[in-house]
Amino acid sequence: MGRLVMKFGGTSVANIDRIRNVARHVKREVDAGHDVAVVVSAMAGKTNELVDWCGDASPLHDAREYDAVVASGEQVTSGLLAIVLQGMGIQARSWQGWQIPIRTSDAHASARILEIDGSEITTRFKDRKEVAVIAGFQGINPQTNRITTLGRGGSDTSAVAIAAAIHADRCDIYTDVDGVYTTDPRVVPKARRLDKIAFEDMLELASLGAKVLQVRSVELGMVHNVPVFVRSSFDKPEDIDPHGTPPGTLICSEEEIMESHVVTGIAFSKDEAQISLRQIEDKPGVAAAIFGPLADANINVDMIVQNVSEDGKTTDLTFTVPASDYNRARDTITSSKGKIGYARLDSATDVSKVSVIGSGMRSHAGVAAKAFKALSERNINIRAITTSEIKFSVLIDAAYTELAVRTLHTLYGLDQA
């Protein structure tokens, strides 16, 4: 007998039939004697619809009211699931973020969780064996008492944070895929599902383009050492042994993985834009003049490459930003041209970032060099490179993305046998 958090995403609760399927998954764990908290997303497509309504109501809308509107999707799902569970004879009640409460910062639409009081939920586990059905993606700011939301994918973050708060044994993330793969199986049919992956590797995969989990949820799992299990909600509930290990991927500490490969996976992102500033005067303060205004505009800069000219007087500086921020970034730099003092701005939006991730890189030399050689043999030009202890990323022309991913996946022995 243990304590579980079960999280179900939008496709898993897309309609009443799927909510009934979710309820059967929950019943299986309750019948096995577990204390269960369930975190749900809004029905598939509902959040987009609510966001569009806000935009139609007013293009320049109040972020606080935006949160009040978009948080309602999860409220509907949690109530419906509680109703279905009650109809199956299971003690259950729905909880909104403010009722628990999940206390957050006041950054509306992208709030961060500060604290969760899970005492009432755990008391009801003990006294009533009651299932807590919790609306994900939302909380409350204690200073303003306003509803807040955690950003897209925030229900993953809610689930892991709640698991930490109630000292759950595991947080199961039910989704429309049956685990974490070495890369996107739609691009590489030979991609393998991983049985286990270290938090650090998963964090890199999530931040570099893998869509399985929100980055913040992986961070919370790592900080609080909450094992996270990614599994499919479309497996038949009655076919699963609640005491066994179903198909899926366990995200855990590196110490729990007996044998790790040098490379764990390949991630990619086509949501990239490149900006190059030519012939900037090479003097102190120039980098601050470029990246300070971008930071003030809340534009995240990723890859940065600087080349100093032979005479040492000027430099070229290239960096990448999310494609969605490209126009704002270009306008921000252009408006600061007098302060920066560059001769020309070049840019490209037809680029992608391909990343190779693996904790095993720490103890193996030449991992990146093999990739550069393999890509050159495929006539794939590398525009920029960044590295860290357990990953490296290359910026390439978007047209070569799939070829590059397949080449590297095979190169590092990640294809299925």
**Spatial distance between the Cα atoms of 74 and 70, rounded to a whole number of angstroms:** 8
Tens digits of per-residue pLDDT, 39-50?
A: 999 999 999 999
Contact indicator for 389, 245 with CB cutoff of 8 Å: no
- As a whole number of Å, the end-to-end CA separation of the chain is 37
**Domains in the chain and their CATH numbers?**
3-254 (3.40.1160.10), 266-411 (3.30.2130.10)
Percentage of the chain lying above the pLDDT 90 cut: 74
Q: Is 334 annotated as a binding residue?
A: no
Q: Does residue 7 have a known ligand-binding role? A: yes
> What pLDDT, in 10s, does the model give residues 164-202?
999 999 999 998 888 999 999 989 999 999 999 999 999
Q: State percent of the chain over pLDDT 70.
A: 98
Tell me the pTM. Answer: 0.86
Task: Confirm whether residue 218 is marked as ligand binding.
Answer: no
Give the mean pLDDT of the chain: 92
Q: Averaged over 256-273, what is the pLDDT?
A: 86
Rounded to the nearest 10°, the torsion over CA 66, 68, 69, 72 is 150
In the predicted structure, residue 258 carries a pLDDT above the cut 80: no
How far is Cα 272 from Cα 213, in angstroms, rounded to an integer? Answer: 20
Q: 299 phi and psi, to 5 degrees?
A: -105, 120
What's residue 417's pLDDT? 58
186 is in an annotated binding site: yes
Q: What is the pLDDT of residues 192-238, one digit of tens each?
A: 999 999 999 999 998 887 778 888 999 999 999 999 999 998 888 88
So what's the pLDDT on residue 281?
A: 85
Region 86-115: mean pLDDT is 96
**Does 176 show up as a binding residue in the annotation?**
yes
Helix (H, G, I), strand (E, B) or coil at 84: helix
User: Could you tell me the pLDDT band of residue 241, with boundaries at 50, 70 and 90?
Assistant: confident
Average pLDDT value for residue range 95-105: 97
Q: Please tell me whether 74 is known to bind a ligand.
A: yes
